[in-house]
């Protein structure tokens, strides 16, 4: 098992290389080439001495006019823990161990590592809160619908499930903000960001001040801000899971081993929760790996609508400016997350299904 995990981890490397290379090529093919838009934004696209100076600066600092292979090679060198060290003039010095870095953003002129460190936790927070919620809703509703198949719950469920799954996330987000988070209608929730502007001055936990005014505290503030985004994100995915659970439970309820259990005298409840659900778990785990990438894509939209400074937004901006380092870093991290979640899924699969083994 350990060798299997090791092998998978090693196999991730060529896949990641392929991914980043592909994205790099796509970027290079777009008009303006690498860093074109960033350059344009900085005023380097017009004629004149000033613009020429800007162009030269960008070239020296970010090497945007070097051949593509060289640019990609440089980036690979940057992220690897073994490579050539670079001095301030851009010349390569010694070869050996070095600290890997993600480079510098052309548009914001800040180290990409810092940008990611700021934005990744936010995206992860959003997704990691969503996942248990969608599983809880999906499992509860799906089992309920399967148990009372044909009943009122199931019919209503069937109708709303498809509607919920078809609901475009952007529409849901916009509608929620319009009606629940705006000045013109109900202002129950905040419309933007993860914290109020006074967040840094807030205490961590809620408290009462001497004048008996209740203060939210940082934790509750984040919760309040995150409710609408999480609701949006979990809407479609929980509908999908519900249908999956219902189908799997129904299929297993009619399976031969369930019939054997009933013939033994096992109560229907126990058949459901002990025998059937354990088998449906396998299907649930299999689908988990598909859910995470779609959640990541969804969180890009959510971050944009709710102005949450997560990694998705970072990626969108990077794409807009053809900011090489940022896009490559986002692709890399996103790819790592996806591949690791697939590996975790396979590990859980082995744990859940005794028929499967990788040895």
Partner 1 sequence: MPQPLLELKDLSVGFDTERGQIRPVAEVSFSIYPGQTVALVGESGCGKSVTALSILRLIPQPPGRILGGQVLLEGQDLLKLSERDMRGVRGKDIAMIFQEPMTSLNPVYTIGDQIIEAVTLHQHVSTREARDIAERSLNDVGISDPHRRLQEYPHQMSGGMRQRVMIAMALSCQPKLLIADEPTTALDVTIQAQILELLRKLQRERGMSILLITHDLGVVAENADTVGVMYASRVVEFATVEELFDHPKHPYTEGLFRSIPKLGQHAKRLETISGMVPAPTRFPSGCKFHPRCPRTRKMAESIKAAQPVSMPPGSNVPLETTPIRDADGDIFDVLSKCVGVEPTLREVKPSHWASCHVLENYEKSPPTAPHLEHRREDATNGASSDAQEVIR
Partner 2 sequence: MTEINVSTLTPPADPYPAPNAGNVVDAPVSFTRKVLRLTFERIGAQLGLFWIVLIMVLAVFAPLLANSHPLAMKSNGQWSSPLARALTPTDVTLLIASFAALVLWRLKRIRLATRVWTFIGIIIVAAVVSCVTVKPPLVQVYDTYRNGLVSGEISKAIFVPIHYSPDDHQRDVEDARLKPPTLAHPMGTTADSADLASNMIYATRIAISIGFVATSVAIVMGVIMGGLMGYLGGWVDLIGMRLVEICESIPTLVLLLAFVSMFQNHPDQALYIMMVVIGALSSFSYAEFVRAEFLSLRDRDFVHAAQAGGLPLWSILFKHMLPNGMSPVIVNASFGVAGAILIETTLSFLGIGLQNESSWGSLLEQALGAGGNVFWWLAVYPGLAIFLTVLAYNLIGEALRDALDPRLNKMA
The residue ranges that bind partner 2 (CB under 8 A) are 14-15, 18-19, 22-23, 26-27, 29-32, 37, 162-163, 165-171, 174-175, 177-179, 182-185, 191, 247, 250-251, 254, 293, 296-297, 300-301, 304-305, 312, 315-316, 319-320, 322, 327, 330-331, 334-335, 338-339
Asked whether position 147 contacts partner 1 by CB under 8 A, the answer is no
- Kindly identify the residues of this chain, within the stretch 232-271, that bind partner 1 according to CB under 8 A: 255-257, 259-267
Distance CA(335)–CA(341), nearest Å, equals: 10
Nearer to partner 1 (CB atom), residue 266 or residue 316: 266
297 binding partner (options partner 1, partner 2, none; Cβ < 5 to 8 Å by kind): partner 2
Stretch that binds partner 1, among 96-104, 124-132, 317-325, 349-357 (CB under 8 A): 349-357
Distance CA(62)–CA(104), nearest Å, equals: 8
Nearer to partner 1 (CB atom), residue 195 or residue 279: 279
Nearer to partner 1 (CB atom), residue 224 or residue 348: 348
**Binding pattern to partner 1, positions 271-290, x when CB under 8 A?**
----x--xx--x--------
Distance CA(106)–CA(89), nearest Å, equals: 17
Contact residues for 98 (Cβ-Cβ < 8 A; gap 6+): 81, 82, 83, 84, 85
48 binding partner (options partner 2, partner 1, none; Cβ < 5 to 8 Å by kind): none
- Picking from 310, 339, 314, 347, the residue whose alpha carbon sits closest to that of residue 329 is 314
Contact indicator for 56, 39 with CB cutoff of 8 Å: no
Give 109: exposed, middle or buried? Use CB within 10 Å, 0-12, 13-18, 19+: exposed
Asked whether position 53 contacts partner 1 by CB under 8 A, the answer is no
What three-state secondary structure class fits 221?
A: helix
**Binding pattern to partner 1, positions 90-119, x when CB under 8 A?**
------------------------------
330 binding partner (options partner 1, partner 2, none; Cβ < 5 to 8 Å by kind): partner 2
19 binding partner (options partner 1, partner 2, none; Cβ < 5 to 8 Å by kind): partner 2
Distance CA(40)–CA(317), nearest Å, equals: 14
Distance CA(93)–CA(333), nearest Å, equals: 28
Q: How far is the CB of 294 from partner 2 (least distance, A)?
A: 9
Distance CA(333)–CA(327), nearest Å, equals: 10
Q: How far is the CB of 237 from partner 1 (least distance, A)?
A: 26
**Hey, what are 273's tokens?**
């929760």
Q: How far is the CB of 313 from partner 2 (least distance, A)?
A: 10
Asked whether position 14 contacts partner 1 by CB under 8 A, the answer is no
Nearer to partner 1 (CB atom), residue 124 or residue 255: 255
Contact indicator for 279, 252 with CB cutoff of 8 Å: yes
Give 293: exposed, middle or buried? Use CB within 10 Å, 0-12, 13-18, 19+: middle
Give 183: exposed, middle or buried? Use CB within 10 Å, 0-12, 13-18, 19+: exposed
Chain residues in the site for partner 1 (CB under 8 A): 150, 255-257, 259-267, 275, 278-279, 282, 352-355
């Amino acid at each position: 098992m350990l060798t299997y995990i090791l092998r998978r981890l090693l196999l991730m490397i060529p896949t990641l290389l392929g991914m980043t290379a592909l994205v790099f090529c796509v970027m290079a093919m777009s008009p303006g080439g690498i860093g074109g838009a960033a350059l344009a934004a900085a005023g380097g696209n017009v004629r004149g001495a000033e613009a020429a100076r800007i162009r030269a600066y960008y070239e020296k600092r970010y090497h945007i006019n070097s051949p593509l292979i060289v640019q990609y090679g440089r980036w690979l060198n940057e992220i690897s823990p073994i490579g050539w060290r670079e001095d301030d003039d851009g010349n390569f010095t010694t070869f050996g161990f070095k600290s890997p870095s993600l480079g510098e953003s052309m548009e914001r002129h800040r180290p990409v590592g810092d940008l990611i460190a700021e934005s990744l936790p936010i995206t992860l927070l959003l997704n990691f809160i969503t996942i248990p919620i969608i599983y809880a809703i999906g499992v509860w509703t799906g089992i309920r619908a399967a148990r009372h198949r044909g009943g009122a719950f199931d019919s209503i469920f069937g109708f709303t499930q498809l509607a919920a799954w078809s609901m475009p996330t952007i529409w849901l987000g916009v509608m929620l903000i319009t009606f629940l988070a705006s000045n013109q209608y109900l202002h129950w929730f905040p419309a933007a960001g993860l914290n109020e502007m006074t967040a840094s001055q807030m205490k961590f936990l809620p408290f009462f001040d001497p004048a008996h005014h209740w203060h939210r505290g940082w934790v509750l503030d984040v919760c309040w801000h995150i409710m609408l985004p999480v609701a949006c994100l979990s809407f479609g995915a929980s509908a999908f899971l519900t249908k999956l659970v219902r189908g799997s439970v129904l299929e297993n309820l009619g399976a031969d081993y369930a019939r054997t259990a009933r013939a033994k005298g096992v109560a229907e409840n126990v058949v459901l929760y002990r025998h059937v659900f354990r088998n449906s778990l396998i299907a649930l785990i299999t689908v988990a790996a598909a859910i995470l990438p779609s959640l990541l894509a969804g969180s890009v939209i959510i971050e944009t609508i709710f102005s949450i400074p997560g990694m998705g937004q970072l990626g969108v901006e990077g794409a807009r400016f053809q900011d090489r380092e940022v896009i490559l870093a986002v692709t890399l991290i996103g790819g790592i997350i996806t591949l690791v979640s697939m590996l975790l899924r396979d590990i859980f699969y082995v744990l859940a299904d005794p028929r499967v083994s990788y040895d």
